């Protein structure tokens, strides 16, 4: 996160994509994958400005990264979650998170 202050509060909503069981990506054991919604502001014309982040928890740390943001309309978190599930996006999200964690550790 370039600006971690954007997520220094409880998310407005969370969709858990993986929480039971574990799987290994490279040398990282993944235990949790979530999408988190933070509603940041409301525009009278455009509606709610949403920040959606991915949160991946591993045995070597966790990382929260921006997944999407903007005026995405209602139910943006559910639509993003469905997109990830239906298009094998979870594996790409996990791989991106592992790369980020590896850079932090090094």
The pLDDT tens digits for 35-94 are 999 999 999 999 999 999 999 999 999 999 999 999 998 899 999 999 998 987 888 999
User: Domain span at residue 89?
Assistant: 4-101
* Cα–Cα distance for residue pair 65/92, rounded to 1 Å: 13
pLDDT band at 106 (very low <50, low <70, confident <90, very high): confident
Assess if residue 50 is contained within a domain. yes
Assess if residue 48 is contained within a domain. yes
pTM given for the model: 0.90
- How many domains in the chain? 1
Q: Is the pLDDT of residue 1 over 70?
A: no
- Burial annotation 40-62 (CB, 10 A radius, 16+ → b, else e): eeeeeeeebebbbbbbbbbeeee
Assess if residue 106 is contained within a domain. no
Q: What is the pLDDT of residue 88?
A: 75
Beta strands in 1-106 (DSSP E): 13-18, 23-25, 28-43, 47-58, 61-70
**Cβ–Cβ < 8 Å for 30, 20:** no
């Amino acid at each position: 996160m370039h600006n971690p202050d954007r997520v220094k509060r409880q998310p407005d909503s969370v969709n858990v994509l993986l929480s039971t069981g574990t799987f290994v990506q490279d040398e990282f054991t993944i235990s949790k994958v979530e999408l988190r919604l933070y509603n940041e502001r409301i525009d009278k014309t455009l509606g709610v400005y949403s920040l959606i982040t991915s949160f991946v928890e591993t045995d070597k740390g966790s990382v929260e990264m921006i997944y999407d943001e903007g005026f995405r309309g209602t139910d943006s978190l559910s639509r993003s979650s469905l997109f990830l599930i239906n298009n094998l996006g979870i594996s790409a999200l996990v791989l991106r998170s592992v790369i980020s964690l590896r850079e932090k550790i090094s």
